[in-house]
Amino acid sequence: KSTKDLEQQQQDKQLELRELENEKIDIKDNISELVDNIQTLQRNQNNITGRVASIRDEILLHTGASKYEIPFIAELIKVRSEEMAWEPAIEKILHSFALRLVVPEKYYKQVNEYVNRTNLKGRIVYQRYQDISQLNSFSSLKQFPSNALFNKLEFNSKSTYITGIEDVIRYQFDYACVNSLEEFNRYNEKAVTQQGLIKSTKGKHEKDDRQNIKHRDNFILGWDNQEKISLLRKRFNTLQVD
C-alpha cells in the first residue's frame, strides 16, 4: 500500500474510534438520565420527570407544602382502563394542561414570590385554585355526549381539587372522540380520532407522529407510575447490555 493509502486508513480508523467514543458517551448520558428519572418517579409516585418535576420539588421545599397540596394536574386524571385505545390521543390533547401545577390560596403568594425571584432554569405553569363549586350546579345541567373526552377519564377522588379540574376539562377540552374520518369531518371544531388527528378551534388541525411523542414512557397522566418505572427499567437494562 502507498503512504497515501496508509494515511487514509489511519484517518478512517481514528474517525471510527471517535464515533465509538461518542456513542459510548451518549449511552452513559442516557443511563444517567434514566436513573434520575426512575428515582424521581419513585420519590413522587407520579409519571412526570425532568426539570419540571425538579421545579415542583423546589417550590414544595420553599413553601413547606406537600405534593398533595400542590399537585400536577396530571396526577389528578387518567384514562379509564376500558378506554386505553384512546390514551395516546388524549395524552396529546391534555399534555400541556396536565403539566400545570395547582396552587391553592394558602400558598399562592409564596409561590409567586419564589417563582418571581428565582431563575428556574426551566419552565413552570401553575393554576391558582379558587373555590368554583358554584359552577357545579350549572355544569350538571349540560348534557355531554357519550363520545366526549371527559367521559373517557377517571379522576382522583382523593384530591380536593377535582371539582375545578372536572369543570375545566368539561368546558375547555370538550372534544368528541370519533371512530371514523367521516364522523370527524362532520364536526366544525374539537374532534379527535384514535389515530391522533386533532381538530381544535379556528380551523386548526394537528397530528404528531414523532417517535418520542408516541412512546408510552413519555405519557404523564395518572397517579400510579409502576408501569412507567417498569418501562424505564427495561430501557436501562437494554442500554447496559449494549
Q: What are phi and psi of 127, to 5 degrees?
A: -115, 120
Query: pLDDT at position 2, please?
Result: 74
d(CA 124, CA 235): 28
pTM of the model: 0.77
Query: pLDDT at position 149, please?
Result: 97
Query: pLDDT at position 46, please?
Result: 84
Query: pLDDT at position 143, please?
Result: 65
Could you tell me whether strands 101-104 and 126-129 are parallel, antiparallel, or unpaired per DSSP bridges?
parallel
10-residue averages of pLDDT along the chain (242 residues): 75 79 71 71 80 96 96 96 95 96 96 98 94 48 80 94 90 96 96 97 94 76 79 74 62
d(CA 163, CA 135): 9
Query: pLDDT at position 194, please?
Result: 96
Crossing angle between the packed helical segments 3-44 and 226-241, to the nearest 10 degrees = 160
Query: pLDDT at position 34, please?
Result: 67
Asked if residue 233 lies in contact with residue 38, where contact means CB atoms within 8 angstroms, the answer is: yes
Query: pLDDT at position 21, please?
Result: 77
DSSP string, the chain: --HHHHHHHHHHHHHHHHHHHHHHHHHHHHHHHHHHHHHHHHHH-SS--SHHHHHHHHHHHHH---TTTS-BGGGGEEE-GGGGGGHHHHHHHHHHHHTPEEEEHHHHHHHHHHHHHS--SS---EEEE---GGGHHHHTTS---TTBGGGGEEE-TT-TTHHHHHHHHHHHS--EEESSHHHHHH-SS-EEETT--EE-STT-EE----HHHH-GGG----S--HHHHHHHHHHHHHHHH-
d(CA 48, CA 197): 24
Asked if residue 190 lies in contact with residue 201, where contact means CB atoms within 8 angstroms, the answer is: yes
Query: pLDDT at position 108, please?
Result: 97
